[in-house]
Amino acid sequence: MTFKYSICYPDKKNIEYRNNTISGKDVLKIAENYPWTQQLNLSESINQNEVYYSPSLDFKCIENERSFCLTAMYDEQKKLVFSIWYNRPKKVKVLFGLFGESEKMIVDDYEALNFDDAVKYLQYFVEENYQKIEELYKK
């Protein structure tokens, strides 16, 4: 599988799209080496009217259009926590099921994960172990 990604910076209005293709191994390396704390501290140091985004990395699989986003924030104790946003195909009922089902892309989100758990779910995404990610939302 190959991926592309984008970066949301706290102090930049425009999202940075990196359209060069990368491998799953690169995805994990980028997420693990990203300066999450530095970007959060930047977010807190500037005028709040000038904060555009929480620090985020969004990875999209080129082959199947699924995407996985990591967004960093501080909790009440100023500990680094992550929310994940998983964009996937899902069968939905059309007009309460009267017209059957169709498949559309749905975004599921989950908050308050520590860094290690967030990266673990990113690894499931890279390995196409989508069932493991979807189990998180059933808890």
pLDDT tens-digit readout, 2-20:
999 999 999 999 999 998 9
Contacts of 52 (CB under 8 A, 6+ apart): 8, 9, 10, 11, 12, 13
pLDDT of 97? 58
Low-confidence ranges of the chain (pLDDT < 50): none
Rg of the chain, C-alpha, whole Å: 16
The model carries a pTM of: 0.88
Query: What are the counts of helices (DSSP H) followed by strands (DSSP E) for the chain?
Result: 4, 6
